[in-house]
Chain A
């Protein structure tokens, strides 16, 4: 009986949480579409979420590309398919690794920083102060962050695609003995607009998820430093889960039958 009650209570609290997120999302989206747009804030957030994520995204991408080339070579050698390395690298990177790696890295970086920043603003009453000054906190804090992530993640993904392919190229030509010109020709021949577009759509969804969960948990942080820490953790966990789930959904929409 106790177990049942427990499960029931958990389910209800999860539904409540989901409802809160839904309301938050709708307010956030509305704030993104309505005037005024705080341009300065948007640029600041784009710098934070986009520009400063370049090193970490680049690094992950280059190593992902390298490892994919290596693994494909070793694995495909078993049935003499080594020549497919360039094809596998470009397809894997543009479809999956580019957007997902970039998304997860930015989730770790940006969701956490958004949640921590908004959480401490909340507990030091800065969000209340904004409201009293006649500034809608959703427009001033949430909208710029959502828009920034929405704009920056596709750009970061493009970058990750290029760098990842370059990583594969590096390993392919220096370690695995492919000639660089045929490798490039093969890569370009297998570069499909569909794959890239799918990756960009995914990454835009990821960007939205990252910003929304960061803002949501920051805004709902309870009082005290410990709660801000918890909010940060929750934001990163939720954003990463969201990314992996959305990844499947968008993939199924593009390629599923």
Chain B
């Protein structure tokens, strides 16, 4: 029996004031305890889609509903946002706080008492060295910042998790640890999760379902097993651009 729908984009349209069209009649449904991976070329609007979902960027038209609440319901904004945790592509760590405070801040703010303990535990889970706990984000490498951001996202126990390129800029070993950690978190908390990535290995581990975003719409979506044997040309091109170019050359 399919679980209820947690997130629904209803014909969302977003064009920036400088004329960049990002979402065009964008429709998407994600069920509870389903993990969706979104693939797409760079600059196609994946990060903007997350921001639209969180109400950080206003849509021109259409609607987004998550957990039965609409994004533009300003009165229930707190409740709406409390369903989410998100890992930003850039990390978005607070540079006035130490690594540990960055992770515990959200917890303290939601009235959780042993915030520091949880923060330490999560930081160890993302394989961050203990010596880095008291450092400020500016003293960390890009990959370390990424891991702190991930720890911050999984420290909260929300209904919906959003990851924007969790493994970009990490070495393969850490990347695979992080991927497994995300999968474990999803399984443990039974939550609804959307991950943006360019990495098909990540998609294979994390995803239940995969969708490809292009031209402001989802142009392909299916179970993760279908990823490698689909004959959708756009998907094939995304997965294996060189092969595709060769084929078209032969033509």
Q: Which residue of B lies closest to A131 (CB)?
A: B81
Could you say which residues of chain B place their CB within 8 Å of the CB of A125?
A: 88, 90, 92
Could you say which residues of chain B place their CB within 8 Å of the CB of A129?
A: 86, 88, 92-94
Closest approach, in angstroms, between the C-beta of A113 and any C-beta of chain B? Answer: 12
One of A49-57, A104-112, A132-140, A202-210 contacting the partner? A132-140
Could you say which residues of chain B place their CB within 8 Å of the CB of A131?
A: 54, 56, 81
Instruction: Check A128 for interface membership: any CB of B closer than 8 A.
Output: yes
Instruction: Check B51 for interface membership: any CB of A closer than 8 A.
Output: yes
One of B104-112, B176-184, B192-200 contacting the partner? B104-112
Roughly how many angstroms separate A133 CA and B56 CA in the complex, as a whole number?
A: 13
Roughly how many angstroms separate A130 CA and B152 CA in the complex, as a whole number?
A: 12
Could you say which residues of chain A place their CB within 8 Å of the CB of B92?
A: 124-126, 128-129
Contact mask for chain A residues 128-159; partner B; CB cutoff 8 A; 1 contact, 0 none: 11111111000000000000000000000000
Q: Which residue of B lies closest to A136 (CB)?
A: B78
Roughly how many angstroms separate A132 CA and B152 CA in the complex, as a whole number?
A: 11
Q: Number of contacts between A and B (CB, 8 Å)?
A: 45
Q: Is the interface of A mostly helix, strand, loop or mixed?
A: helix
- 8 Å CB contact of A128 from B78, B88, B110, B156: B88
Closest approach, in angstroms, between the C-beta of A80 and any C-beta of chain B? Answer: 59
For B, the interface residue count at a CB cutoff of 8 angstroms equals: 20
Instruction: Check B136 for interface membership: any CB of A closer than 8 A.
Output: no
Contact: B51 with A134, CB < 8 Å? Answer: no
Contact: B56 with A126, CB < 8 Å? Answer: no
Q: Which residue of A lies closest to B51 (CB)?
A: A128
Contact: B94 with A126, CB < 8 Å? Answer: yes
Instruction: Check B95 for interface membership: any CB of A closer than 8 A.
Output: yes
Roughly how many angstroms separate A134 CA and B112 CA in the complex, as a whole number?
A: 13
Roughly how many angstroms separate A135 CA and B85 CA in the complex, as a whole number?
A: 13
Instruction: Check B58 for interface membership: any CB of A closer than 8 A.
Output: no
Roughly how many angstroms separate A63 CA and B11 CA in the complex, as a whole number?
A: 65
Could you say which residues of chain B place their CB within 8 Å of the CB of A128?
A: 51, 54, 56, 88, 92
Contact: B94 with A134, CB < 8 Å? Answer: no
Could you say which residues of chain A place their CB within 8 Å of the CB of B51?
A: 128
Roughly how many angstroms separate A121 CA and B92 CA in the complex, as a whole number?
A: 8
Contact: B95 with A126, CB < 8 Å? Answer: yes
Q: Which residue of B lies closest to A123 (CB)?
A: B90
Contact: B85 with A132, CB < 8 Å? Answer: yes
Contact: A132 with B95, CB < 8 Å? Answer: no
Contact mask for chain B residues 73-105; partner A; CB cutoff 8 A; 1 contact, 0 none: 000001001101110101011110000000001
Closest approach, in angstroms, between the C-beta of A44 and any C-beta of chain B? Answer: 8
Contact mask for chain B residues 107-130; partner A; CB cutoff 8 A; 1 contact, 0 none: 001100000000000000000000
Contact mask for chain B residues 54-78; partner A; CB cutoff 8 A; 1 contact, 0 none: 1010000000000000000000001
Could you say which residues of chain A place their CB within 8 Å of the CB of B56?
A: 128, 131
Roughly how many angstroms separate A15 CA and B74 CA in the complex, as a whole number?
A: 25
Contact: A132 with B90, CB < 8 Å? Answer: no
Roughly how many angstroms separate A132 CA and B105 CA in the complex, as a whole number?
A: 12
Of the candidates A125, A128, A130, A135, the one having the most CB atoms from chain B within 10 angstroms of its own CB is A125
Contact: A134 with B82, CB < 8 Å? Answer: yes
Roughly how many angstroms separate A125 CA and B56 CA in the complex, as a whole number?
A: 10
Contact mask for chain A residues 87-130; partner B; CB cutoff 8 A; 1 contact, 0 none: 00000000000000000000000000000000001001110111
Closest approach, in angstroms, between the C-beta of B173 and any C-beta of chain A? Answer: 27
Closest approach, in angstroms, between the C-beta of A225 and any C-beta of chain B? Answer: 14
- 8 Å CB contact of B90 from A124, A130, A135: A124
Contact: A134 with B81, CB < 8 Å? Answer: yes
Closest approach, in angstroms, between the C-beta of B159 and any C-beta of chain A? Answer: 13
Could you say which residues of chain A place their CB within 8 Å of the CB of B105?
A: 133, 135
Q: Which residue of A lies closest to B55 (CB)?
A: A131
Closest approach, in angstroms, between the C-beta of B55 and any C-beta of chain A? Answer: 9
The 5 A-B residue pairs with the shortest CB-CB distance in the complex, in nearest-first order: A133-B106, A125-B92, A129-B92, A128-B56, A125-B88
Apart from A128-B51, A133-B109, 5 more pairs, CB < 8 Å: A125-B90, A128-B54, A132-B81, A133-B85, A134-B106
| Cross-chain pairs A/B with CB under 8 angstroms, 12 sampled | A121-B95, A124-B95, A125-B92, A129-B86, A129-B92, A130-B94, A132-B54, A133-B105, A134-B81, A134-B82, A134-B109, A134-B110
Residues of B near any A CB (own CB < 8 A)? 51, 54, 56, 78, 81-82, 84-86, 88, 90, 92-95, 105-106, 109-110, 156
